[in-house]
Amino acid sequence: MTYVDPETRAKAAAYGHPFASEEIIAAGHDLAARVCRELQRAGLPAHVRRPQEPSRPGASVEVENQGEHAGGLHVRWSAPELGVAGLRAAAERQDPAAPEWKRYGEVVVLMQTALIGVLRLAGFSVVPAEEVDDLAEGDVYVHAHRPS
């Protein structure tokens, strides 16, 4: 299976943002499938997110295809209904501290803690994603390797 088509790979390399090798990306997808299985075994909805896919409730697992963390995963808790309601309330009131938006943020933080706990119990090397990417607040990062 090819994860990144040659044209996209060549363009990214030309702009200085090369993709990882197909082997590393394939290993990341294998890791993503194992992470989803463990989350599902714990009773949590989980899926590997595909490009251009609409947001679904539950744990959305994305494989890192570029950069120093290639092969690792970002796991994001998705509560689309709650998120849309919070965003709508904040926009309508022009208040970024709208209670509905705060509630959504608090749910994401609670679920980050739960996801980290479940995945660590299953033996994965996991940290809050902001430790590897300061823009990924609320996400979970699963390292590309399992601890020995």
| pLDDT tens-digit readout, 13-38 | 787 777 788 888 889 999 999 999 99
Of the ranges 34-43, 45-54, 62-71, which one carries the lowest mean pLDDT score? 62-71
| Residue bearing the bigger pLDDT, 146 or 106 | 106
Q: How confident is the model at residue 148 (pLDDT cuts 50, 70, 90)?
A: very low
Tokens standing for residue 125: 């090397």
Angle in degrees, 0-180, between the axes of helices 80-93 and 99-121, rounded to the nearest 10: 150
For the residues 117-132, what does the mean pLDDT come to? Answer: 95
- On the 0-12 / 13-18 / 19+ scale of CB atoms within 10 A, 40 is middle
- The SS3 call for residue 104 is helix
pLDDT digits over 1-14, tens only? 767 767 877 777 78
User: Is the pLDDT higher at 62 or at 53?
Assistant: 62
- Condensed to tens digits (0 to 9), the pLDDT of residues 65-101 reads 887 887 889 999 999 999 999 999 999 999 888 999 9
